[in-house]
Structure 1
Amino acid sequence: MNPEQVENTVGLAPATTRAGVKQRLWRGLCKAPWSARFGLLVIVLYVLAAVFAPLLTPYGENQIVGVEFDAWGREFLLGTDNLGRDMLTRLLYGGRNTIGIVVLATCLAFLVGGVAGLLAATRGGWVDQLLSRLVDVLMAIPQLIFALLLLTLFGTAIPVLIVIIALLDSTRVFRLTRAVATNIAVLDFVEAARLRGESRSWIMFREILPNILPPLVAEFGLRFCFTFLFISALSFLGLGIQPPTADWGSMVRDNATLITYGDITPLLPALAIAVLTIGVNFVVDWFLHMTSGLRDEH
């Protein structure tokens, strides 16, 4: 019996071809609910705004163009901030900086945590115990306090920030990857691959990984949201993305004084964070529903 027959015997679909995946995604997108379409629209708009930020505003990211806290008007659509910089410009560049850092940190977290989780599931024994206990120790420390300590020790440069956030998030990725990979690693088609003499890397990335992708992709969306909120919180506290680089968390802090006078300008970066988080969660919910095999009843 070949591995494909074994997979069908145990009720686990073989790895889908790229063409099949594209067709399924397209059919799913056509049948997607309004919430998923709204989420995809939000993500596309944010990505376009981040990529084309220099073309969407006539001002520079750190250019002082007026007086402090100027009101909304024709010249400055969203007014100016505490230093006289255009708020709309800062908002666009803030999204570009924050989203870019969050994507890099989330991808690095999945690279580290995913590989470690697959290794623990396939090796077992002392490797599994060592990695699991190390992750338990790291998860026992409150994430915000641990991040503040590490950033205080190693500085707040952007590469340092990305590495620290990624390592802290990789613990969650490790736990999920190990849990779902352990269930797959004991199935017959994986044992058949071992008996064929396949290498451990082949088993990890060609046999197990394709069958655990749906929960990992969904977790990627959730981790993206949590990392986005986490970096914004660090910036609000002054240990995230450092000025003069635009960042939505620090923009809320720098312009918080306006709230006292009934001006909603400081809430705009917070609203941008909330809308993107909601949009990503809508897409994650749709993806989980689509990959679960459930169908809506009409």
Structure 2
Amino acid sequence: MATAAQNSLKLLGRSPWSARFGMLVILVYVVTAIGAPLIAPYGETEIVGIEYEPWNEVYPLGTDNLGRDMLSRIIYGARNTVGVAFATTMLAFLIGSIAGLLAATLRGWADQLLSRLVDVMMAIPPLVFALLILTIVGTNLINMILVIAVLDSTRVFRLTRAVAMNVVVMDFVEAARLRGEGLWWIMRREILPNISAPLAAEFGLRFCFVFLTISALSFLGLGLQPPTADWGSMVRDNATLISYGDITPVIPAAAIALLTVAINFVVDWFLHETSGLKE
């Protein structure tokens, strides 16, 4: 344990400034999301003033279209938007990675069936597909998570299958088959550890895409529903302020952009470290 901690500290010590900045931003977002009820000065749905009150000492970022404190809404938005995006990405990876490992390990008709199904799903732009399905089944939280996770799992499937195909032909996998090891054991113990680095990097990128998709759906009115605080819907609800020179609606959009950039910084560094490339 001590050796692993020392190696982690050494790895962080030689990381570039961009990766350190990204990790710091991610840490701030995580702390904000977890401690939202303690950090926010007001409740998530509490009406505390008049509509569109300007920035002042009581409300540092003013109030929104219903008189709710914008600063509190942004803080709670971190917990809602980031939390839902993380849960959706986890589900997408669970579906996509298992399907990809099965396709690479079983090959034959199972690989063809899963690959053709994924090709059909990827032929339709994901945002358009999500809008269509959510319009049919409804826009509650569970439906949104399931729809986005299934659509995004197709990308995870393609990557998992591609990298696993290079591993299943190795001698140690064939030796495991000859020993009589089961399919699940081979996938979990022989293949998955050897493809974990690209999957970990892909998780960061997938999280960004899911995060942006949820924000886009909320902006269009099909994401997280009111009165839940969500950065995408906050931009839409307060967009009229931009006409009066008020930059308040830009702040939730900037929060989305900052987290996306921070995650990409960390993913780029992680890919560089795990690829074996050196300066």
Q: TM-score, normalised by structure 1?
A: 0.92
Aligned residue type for 1:214:
A
Match of 1:175 in 2: 158
- Paired with 1:163 and 1:79, the residues of 2 have a C-alpha distance of 35
| 1:222 alignment counterpart | 205
1 CA distance for matches of 2:194 and 2:187? 10
Structure 2 distance, partners of 1:194, 1:29, is 39
Match of 1:270 in 2: 253
Between Structure 1 and Structure 2, how many residues are aligned?
Answer: 279
Q: Partners of 1:295 and 1:21 in 2: how far apart?
A: 22
User: 1:104 Cα deviation (Å)?
Assistant: 0.5
Distance, in Å, in 1 between the alignment partners of 2:276 and 2:2 is 19
- Correspondence for 2:234 among 230, 235, 251: 251
What stretches of structure 2 of length at least 5 have no aligned partner? none
> Is the Cα–Cα contact under 8 Å of residues 176 and 186 in structure 2 kept in the other structure?
yes
The code of the aligned residue for 1:181 comes to: A
* Partner SS state of residue 165, structure 1: helix
Match of 1:82 in 2: 65
Asked if 1:199 corresponds to 2:156, the answer is: no
Q: What is the distance in 1 between the residues matched to 2:111 and 2:105? A: 9
Q: Distance in 1 between matches of 2:4 and 2:122?
A: 35
1:62 corresponds to 2:45: yes
Q: Distance in 2 between matches of 1:88 and 1:149?
A: 33
Amino acid at match of 1:193: A
Shift of 1:292: 1.0
Q: CA RMSD in A?
A: 1.1
Aligned with residue 127 of structure 1, among 102, 110, 121:
110
Letter of the 1:101 partner, please give it: V
Q: Tell me, yes or no, if the aligned pair for 2:40 and 2:76 is still in contact at 8 Å.
A: no
Closer, same or farther in 2 for the Cα pair 1:40/1:210, shift >3 Å?
same
Structure 1 counterpart of 2:196, one-letter code: L
Give the drift of 1:19.
Answer: 7.0
Match of residue 109 from structure 1: 92
Q: In structure 2, give the amino acid aligned to 1:36.
A: A
Quickly say closer, same or farther: Cα 1:21–1:128, change in 2 above 3 A.
farther
In the TM superposition, 1:158-173 aligns within 5 A as 158-173=141-156
Structure 2 counterpart of 1:188, one-letter code: D
The answer to whether structure 1 residue 73 and structure 2 residue 67 are counterparts is: no
**Deviation of 1:21 (Å):** 5.5
**Percent same amino acid at aligned positions?**
68
Name the CA distance, whole Å, in 2 between partners of 1:102 and 1:161: 10
**Deviation string, structure 1 residues 13-39 (Cα, Å, up to 9, x no partner):** xxxxx7765544332111111000000
Q: What is the alpha-carbon distance in structure 1 between the residues aligned to residue 4 and residue 129 of structure 2?
A: 40
Q: Distance in 2 between matches of 1:47 and 1:193?
A: 41
Residue 31 of structure 1 pairs with residue 14 of structure 2: yes
- Letter aligned with residue 100 of structure 1: G
Report SS of the residue matched to 2:77.
Answer: helix
Q: Which residue of 2 aligns with 1:147?
A: 130
Q: Give the TM-score, by structure 2 length.
A: 0.98
Distance 1:200 1:19 in 2: 34
Give the Cα separation in 2 of the matches to 1:183 and 1:19: 34
1:227-252 Cα distance to aligned partner (Å, 9 max, x none):
00010000000000011100000000
AA of the residue aligned to 1:95: A
Say which SS state the counterpart of residue 9 (structure 2) adopts.
Answer: helix
Aligned to 1:211: 194
Structure 1 counterpart SS, 2:226 = coil
Structure-1 separation of matches of 2:235 and 2:94: 32
One of 192, 210, 216 as aligned partner of 1:233: 216
Paired with 1:116 and 1:24, the residues of 2 have a C-alpha distance of: 33
Runs of 4+ in 1 over 4 A off after TM superposition: 18-23
Quick check: 2:92–2:156 contact (8 Å CA) kept in 1? yes
One-letter code of the match for 1:74?
A: E
State the 1:195 CA deviation.
1.0
Does residue 73 of structure 2 align to residue 93 of structure 1? no
Instruction: Give 2:120's aligned residue.
Output: 137
Deviations 1:160-188 (A, max 9, x none): 11111100000000000000000100011
For the residues of structure 2 that align with 1:21 and 1:125, how far apart are their CA atoms?
41
